[in-house]
Amino acid sequence: MGIDMTLVNDQDIVMNENAASYGSRPDLGPLPAIYLDYQATTPTDPRVVDAMLPYFSEKFGNPHSTAHVFGWQAEDGVDMARTQVANLIGAEAREIVFTSGATESNNIAIKGLAGFYGDRKNHIITVATEHKCVLETCRMLEHDGFQVSYIKPKKNGLIDVSEIADLITDKTLLVTVMAVNNEIGVIQPISEIGSICRQKGVFFHSDCAQAFGKIPLDVGAMNIDLMSISGHKAYAPMGIGALYVRRRPRVRLKPLFDGGGQERGMRSGTLPAPLVVGLGMAAKLAMDEMGTEHSCLENLQKLFLNTLDEADVDYNINGDRHDRFAGNLNLSFPAVNGETLMASLSGLALSSGSACTSAAVEPSYVLKAIGLTDELASASVRIGFGRFSKQDETVKAASDIAAAVKRLHKTND
Amino acid sequence: MYSAIYMDHNATTSVRPTVVDAVGDAMAVIGNASSVHGPGRQCKRILENARDHVAEVINCQSENVIFTGSGTEANNLALRGLSGIPVLASTIEHASVRSVIDHEKIAVDDQCVVNLNQLTRLLQKQTGRVLVSVMLANNETGAIQPVKDVVRIAKSFDAVVHCDAVQALGKIDVDMIDLGVDMMTLSAHKIGGPQGVGALILSPAVEIEALIKGGGQEHRRRGGTENLPGIAGFGEAAKQVKSERTNFSKLTILRDQIETAIQSMTGRAAYSSSVARLANTSCLSMPGVRAETQVMAFDLEGIAISAGSACSSGKVEASHVLSAMGLGDDDASSAIRVSLGWNSTQHDVDRFIDVWKMLYNRLSNDHVMAKAV
């Protein structure tokens, strides 16, 4: 059962055949496998690497050394990056707190609010399909006496915004909803959620690890109070992320850890200047190229599905077909053993779920939350496209998957 | 390449060329170390290889190494991860340790060495189990602490011992087993590795609760995708430290030249110079001249030094370390820190001494004249 998507005109595809078909996007060179795991991590863009390199050599100073030129050079790099990150989400530079990654940002945001306001308000609303680190943090707060409402998404993975409105009470401190789901790619109605939260005087945090640099985000228009950002999901290196913290109306946080008081006391520790500069450059590239990149990804997605359709393979798309990030597909193959399928796709780097949980064999909690059976959830793969994906590789990957699925069907017969 | 002379290695060290290569190589490998596919497994190998190098340099098991985002995070993880246990730390600890202390502090003597008798007395007053935290070497004076004695005393009270070895690693031999500590903090960017990665070493006897919760990485002790390039760089830096362990003490020769020259002019020795000290660190007063003035003047002459630790060097208050040693305001406010590194040269030291003398003649005369007026 294919999907009802208009066939892509061959002409469109040819126009985008070359990986460097837009902008000045560099080529990564030969890779050991076809990389289809862009939601686990993205390659670091060579232009990002180039921006970082001087901060490993002549500009190596500690950005907090205020007494000499080595420190100032590093600090200048950090300041520029702070502005670049802020610009991409419509924030002010001083509202950006650099962290080691989105997991830390999510921890600081949720525990930090709970720590600061917890004696007055103790109810949190989140979604059952959030990233593990959000859910684990919420569970920890439940142990500390917080009440947490976990909204169950609809079958298409999207939440019903009216449910949030209904759940908010005068004890509600925070609504935390991710923008783009890491497994099924659906885009939640962030603007609507933000406007409800603002009306009701509740803080709104969004885990934008998968959305930053991929889809337009605006903390003002979306009424986002706290936003978690990841570097390595947006072509910057691992080990760097950010938390947007709104200044007006002001959001106060209890820091997760203390020390030298860097990042306005919200996140102590020496800032890794090269990584920060890398995140800034990644934000700048996204700002310049998001539009063209998005149409490229849409084409790749269509191409992938067309290839499956032409091979007449039976599949379901998990998550809404339209409200989804174009760089993600999550597909289930009915009547196929998932583990056998994964084992037969060794030439493809893809995942059966999120990276942090893919070492575990249990079926994805996200897919189960949108109503898949254990069996179907296990027979699902996540396919991620990105900046360096190529059309020929995309077609090959889809053909390999189609062939494997058909072979497995045959063995079943 | 900027031609200024860098003498602030205790704030951060210049990154070693082989480390830059290791970071670059790891960045070229695409994948998440938690993914099960080929690229993911390749990342896992890089991660575990680096873990082995870090473990080796301090003589512990690889599985005892928890990678974090910084030394600050590792200190916080150590002291907050054992929730409910009061922390007893010295007065000269890094800000990331001091911020967690809610208890009495262990005093130091005028040479910046912890007072073991007072440690015993403080432990005798405790009713339940405590966590003792003493750094291996102080970041401002370089004074090496008697951590083995601290462990011996603390263990007789069944205390858990944490040691911040951030400034010691790479400068003296650090042996987790020989020291006998339960937890140890390390930082990559103080040993020629990249910024943005640290580690907490945990002896098998201790279990902690994660500060950053997430995908279950680092045996559930630290959530978040591992900073693979940073960790690869940390591993390479640790490998370098192990291979050059005898070379570091050669910095003593350079450091002593500075101290001898200055003593001949002021008649004053460097702080902590009568106790065991890191070979690279010198904490010196220029009588009558404020540290900020010196630091700015040195910067104009193309020499980077600091007036204390980097994270607090923007603040004007006197160093907590020097105050803890009992220095008066005049001495504490005129002290600068000179810290040499793996790439410091004789030329750097000669130039520093020349500039110091020039500034001393100029600035301290200004000072005398200002007083006379």
In terms of domains, do B44 and B121 share one? yes
Q: What is the pLDDT of residues A151-176, one digit of tens each?
A: 999 999 999 999 999 999 999 999 99
Q: How confident is the model at residue B373 (pLDDT cuts 50, 70, 90)?
A: very low
| Residue-number span of the structural domain to which B43 is assigned | 17-243
A305 Cβ neighbours under 8 A, 6+ residues apart: A2, A3, A5, A329, A398
Contacts 24+ apart (CB under 8 A), B312-320: B312/A260, B312/A261, B312/B95, B313/A64, B313/A65, B313/A66, B313/A67, B313/B11, B314/A64, B314/A66, B316/B292, B319/B140, B320/B91, B320/B92, B320/B98
- Whether residues B30 and B175 fall in one domain: yes
Please list every residue in chain A whose beta carbon sits closer than 8 Å to the beta carbon of residue B234.
none
pLDDT-derived band at A360, boundaries 50, 70, 90? low
Same domain, B285 and B360: yes
User: For B288, what's the count of Cα atoms within 13 Å in the CB-facing half-sphere?
Assistant: 14
Q: How does residue A413 score in pLDDT terms, banded at 50, 70 and 90? A: low
- A-B CB pairs within 8 A amount to 285
- Rounded Cα distance between B351 and B6, Å, is 11
For chain A, the domains span 10-45+290-412, 48-284
Give the per-residue pLDDT at A2.
36
Residue of A nearest to B27 (CA): A44
Active-site annotation of B, residues: 311
Would you say residue B15 has pLDDT above 70? yes
Do B45 and B180 lie in one domain? The reply is yes
pTM of the prediction?
Answer: 0.91
Confidence of residue A350 (pLDDT cuts 50, 70, 90): confident
The reported pLDDT for the residue numbered B364 is 80
**Chain A residues near residue B306 by CB distance under 8 angstroms:** 65, 67-68
How far is residue B150's CA from residue B130's CA, in Å, rounded to a whole number? Answer: 13
Same domain, B346 and B214: no
Task: Please state which of the ranges A106-110, A232-236, B222-226 shows the lowest mean pLDDT.
Answer: B222-226
Cβ within 8 Å, pair B39-A359: no
At A359, is the pLDDT very low, low, confident or very high (cuts 50, 70, 90)? low
Query: How many distinct structural domains can be found in chain B?
Result: 2
User: A60 contacts in B (CB within 8 Å)?
Assistant: 12-15
pLDDT score of A412 more than 70? no
pLDDT at B179: 98
Range in A297-311, A328-342, B104-118, B121-135 the model is least confident about? A328-342
The CA dihedral of A21, A22, A24, A30, to the nearest 10 degrees, is -40
**Entry field: residues in chain B:** 373
Among B243, B274, B307, which residue terminates a domain? Answer: B243
Q: Using an 8 Å CB-CB cutoff, list chain B residues near A400.
A: none
Smallest CA–CA distance, residue B66 to chain A, in Å, is 14
Any idea which residue has 């800032």 for tokens? A271
Least confident of A60-69, A166-175, B104-113, B177-186: A60-69
- The chain A residue lying nearest B295, using CA atoms, is A67
Looking at residue A67, the DSSP 8-state letter turns out to be: S
Can you say whether residue A6 is alpha, beta or left, with left for phi > 0 and alpha for psi between -120 and 50 degrees? beta
Pairing, β B87-90 against β B65-68:
unpaired
The answer to whether the CB of B225 falls within 8 A of the CB of B67 is no
Q: What's residue A352's pLDDT?
A: 78
> Which residue in B has a C-alpha nearest to residue A43's C-alpha?
B30
pLDDT above 70 covers a percentage of chain A that reads 91
- Per the CB < 8 A criterion, the answer to whether A35 and A300 are in contact is no
* Co-location of B313 and B220 in the same domain: no
| B312: confidence class by pLDDT, cuts 50, 70, 90 | very low
Using a CB-CB cut-off of 8 Å, the residues of chain B touching A268 are 72, 76, 95-96, 99, 311
Cβ within 8 Å, pair A64-B311: yes
For residues A191-218, average pLDDT: 98
Q: What is the dihedral of CA A134, A140, A146, A147, to 10 degrees?
A: 60
Nearest to B213 among A100, A136, A354 (CB): A136
Averaged pLDDT of chain B: 91
**Residues B174 and B28 occupy one common structural domain:** yes
User: Min CA distance, B37 vs chain A (Å)?
Assistant: 5
Residue A4: the pLDDT is 36
Rounded percentage of chain A residues whose pLDDT exceeds 90: 79
B1/A57 touch (CB, cutoff 8 Å), yes or no: yes
Compare CB distances from A268 to B34, B72, B80 and report the shortest one's residue: B72
8 Å CB contact of B307 and A259: no
ipTM of the complex: 0.90
Contacts of A221 (CB under 8 A, 6+ apart): A90, A191
| CATH code of the domain occupying A10-45+290-412 | 3.90.1150.10
Q: Which residues of A touch B216 (CB under 8 A)?
A: 132, 356-357
pLDDT of residue B1: 41
Question: What distance in Å separates residue B154's CA from the closest CA in chain A?
Answer: 25
Q: What average pLDDT score do residues B217-223 get? A: 90
Q: Is the pLDDT of residue A269 over 90?
A: yes
pLDDT classification of A33: cutoffs 50, 70, 90: confident
Share of chain B above pLDDT 70, in %: 93
Mean pLDDT, chain A, integer: 91
Q: Does the structure show a pLDDT above 60 at A1? A: no
The CATH architecture annotation of domain A48-284 reads 3-Layer(aba) Sandwich (3.40)
CATH number, domain with residue B65: 3.40.640.10
Say what the pLDDT of residue A346 is: 83
Does the pLDDT of residue A9 top 60, yes or no? no
Last residue of a domain, one of B221, B243, B265: B243
Question: Do residue B95 and residue A73 have CB atoms under 8 angstroms apart?
Answer: no
Q: How far apart are the first and last CA of chain A?
A: 18
> How many angstroms separate the CA of residue A261 from the nearest CA in chain B?
7
Q: Which of B182, B214, B243 is the last residue of a domain?
A: B243
Task: Judge whether residue A14 has pLDDT over 90.
Answer: no
**Residue A17 banded pLDDT, cuts 50, 70, 90:** very low
With H, G, I as helix, E, B as strand and everything else as coil, classify residue B342.
coil
Inter-chain CB proximity B73 and A100 less than 8 Å: yes
CATH at residue B366: 3.90.1150.10
Distances (CA, A) of A393 to A27, A304, A333, A380: 14, 10, 21, 20
Q: What is the mean pLDDT of residues A381-397?
A: 95
- Catalytic residue list of A: 356
Residues of chain A neighbouring B298 (CB-CB closer than 8 A): 68
Smallest CA-to-CA distance from A27 within A35, A36, A18 is with A18
- Shortest Cα distance, chain B CAs vs residue A215, angstroms: 22
Report in angstroms the alpha-carbon separations of A85 from A96, A241, A363, A405: 8, 10, 35, 42
Mean pLDDT of B107-132: 95
Domain check: are B215 and B263 in the same one?
no
Give the confidence band of A342 by pLDDT, cuts at 50, 70, 90. confident
Indicate yes or no: CB of B311 within 8 angstroms of CB of A260. Answer: yes
pLDDT level of residue A5 (50, 70, 90 thresholds): very low
List the single residue in A133, A269, A349 with the smallest CB-CB distance to B69: A269
Q: How confident is the model at residue B88 (pLDDT cuts 50, 70, 90)?
A: very high
Mean predicted confidence (pLDDT) in A23-51: 87
Q: Nearest Cα to A133, choosing from A241, A45, A207, A225?
A: A207
- B positions 227-256 inside 8 Å of A (CB): 227-230
Contact A92/A86 with Cβ under 8 angstroms?
yes
Structure tokens at B253: 């020769």
* Residue to test with chain A: of B1, B16, B34, B37, most A Cβ within 10 A: B37
Tell me, yes or no, if the two domains A10-45+290-412 and A48-284 fold the same way: no
From chain A, the residues in CB contact with B215 under 8 A are 103, 131-133, 354-357
Tell me whether B76 touches chain A (CB under 8 Å).
Answer: yes
**B331 & B367 share domain:** yes
Q: Nearest-CA distance from B169 to chain A in Å?
A: 17
Using the Cβ of B100 and the Cβ atoms of chain A, whether some distance falls under 8 Å is answered with yes
